[in-house]
C-alpha cells in the first residue's frame, strides 16, 4: 500500500499573546491574563475566575463566587491549589466546586486560542493586576437588585456599596442613591483616628447621581 506523506513545514496557527504572535507547541509557551465564568451543575451558582499565566504557570488567581455557602469555601481551597500549577495541570485538577472547574475550562480555552485580555498588551499584565478589579478597598463588586410589579425596583447593593437610600424625582423615577462603602467603613472603624462608629459611618457614606435633586427619598429595604 502506498504511503501518502503529509505536507511538511506547517505548525499550529500563531496566536496573539502579550503583544506578539506565537506559534505555540508546548503548554509552557502560553502566557496571558484573562477571566472565565462557570456554573455549578444545578446552575444555582457561578464563579468568576481570573488567572495571570506566565510561561504556562499560574502566577496569580482571583476567585469570586456567588451561590451556596460551600462555594466560598471551595474558592478558598482553589486559591491554594491553583498557584504554581501549569494551566494543563489546573485543568485536570479537581478544584472542588463544579462552578470553579467550569470557569477553569472556559479560561483554559481563552488562553490556548489566544483570546486572553492581554493578547495585545506588550509584556502582558503584571502579577497583582487582577486585584485592581476589586477596587481600592479590595471588595468584590456584587450587584443586588430586587423588583416587583407592585413596588417597582429596589437597589440593594451596587458597585459603590450598600444602598441606604434611593432618590426619586417628581415621577417617582430613580435619579440617584445614597450608599455606604463597606470596605471604607471598616477601614475608618479600624484606623488610628479613633473614630466613633457614627463618625466612621458618616465618612463612609456618599451619594451618586442627582441625589440632591430628589423630590422623595425612600429606604429600599423598609418602604
Write the CB contacts of 132 (distance below 8 Å, at least 6 apart in sequence): none
pTM: 0.83
pLDDT for the residue numbered 86? 97
Give per-residue pLDDT as tens, 148-195: 999 999 999 998 899 999 999 999 999 999 999 998 999 999 988 889
Whether the CA torsion 38, 41, 43, 44 is positive or negative: it is negative
pLDDT for the residue numbered 110? 96
What residue spans in the chain does CATH classification 3.90.1010.10 cover? 15-134
pLDDT for the residue numbered 135? 78
Unique residue bearing C-alpha cell 456599596: 161
pLDDT for the residue numbered 215? 97
pLDDT for the residue numbered 103? 97
Q: Which residues, given as ranges, of the chain have pLDDT below 50? A: none
pLDDT for the residue numbered 129? 92
Instruction: Decide which of 3.90.1010.10, 1.10.1060.10, 3.40.190.10, 3.40.50.620 is the CATH code for 15-134.
Output: 3.90.1010.10
The C-alpha atoms of residue 84 and residue 57 are separated, in whole angstroms, by 6
Q: Torsions phi, psi of 134, nearest 5?
A: -85, -10
Amino acid at each position: 500500500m502506498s504511503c501518502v506523506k503529509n505536507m511538511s513545514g506547517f505548525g499550529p496557527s500563531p496566536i496573539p499573546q502579550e503583544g506578539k504572535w506565537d506559534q505555540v507547541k508546548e503548554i509552557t509557551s502560553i502566557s496571558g491574563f484573562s477571566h472565565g465564568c462557570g456554573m455549578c451543575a444545578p446552575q444555582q451558582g457561578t464563579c468568576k475566575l481570573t488567572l495571570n499565566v506566565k510561561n504556562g504557570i499560574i502566577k496569580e488567581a482571583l476567585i469570586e463566587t456567588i451561590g451556596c455557602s460551600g462555594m466560598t469555601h471551595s474558592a478558598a481551597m482553589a486559591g491554594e491549589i491553583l498557584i504554581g500549577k501549569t494551566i494543563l495541570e489546573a485543568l485536570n485538577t479537581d478544584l472542588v466546586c463544579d462552578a470553579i472547574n467550569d470557569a477553569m475550562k472556559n479560561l483554559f480555552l481563552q488562553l490556548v486560542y489566544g483570546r486572553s485580555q492581554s493578547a495585545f498588551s506588550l509584556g502582558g499584565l503584571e502579577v497583582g493586576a487582577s486585584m485592581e478589579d476589586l477596587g481600592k478597598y479590595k471588595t468584590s463588586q456584587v450587584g443586588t437588585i430586587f423588583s416587583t410589579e407592585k413596588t417597582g425596583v429596589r437597589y440593594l447593593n451596587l458597585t459603590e456599596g450598600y444602598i441606604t437610600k434611593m432618590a426619586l424625582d417628581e415621577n417617582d423615577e430613580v435619579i440617584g442613591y445614597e450608599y455606604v462603602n463597606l470596605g471604607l467603613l471598616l477601614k475608618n472603624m479600624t484606623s488610628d483616628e479613633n473614630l466613633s462608629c457614627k463618625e466612621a459611618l458618616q465618612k463612609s457614606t456618599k451619594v451618586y447621581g442627582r441625589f440632591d435633586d430628589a423630590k422623595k427619598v425612600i429606604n429600599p429595604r423598609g418602604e
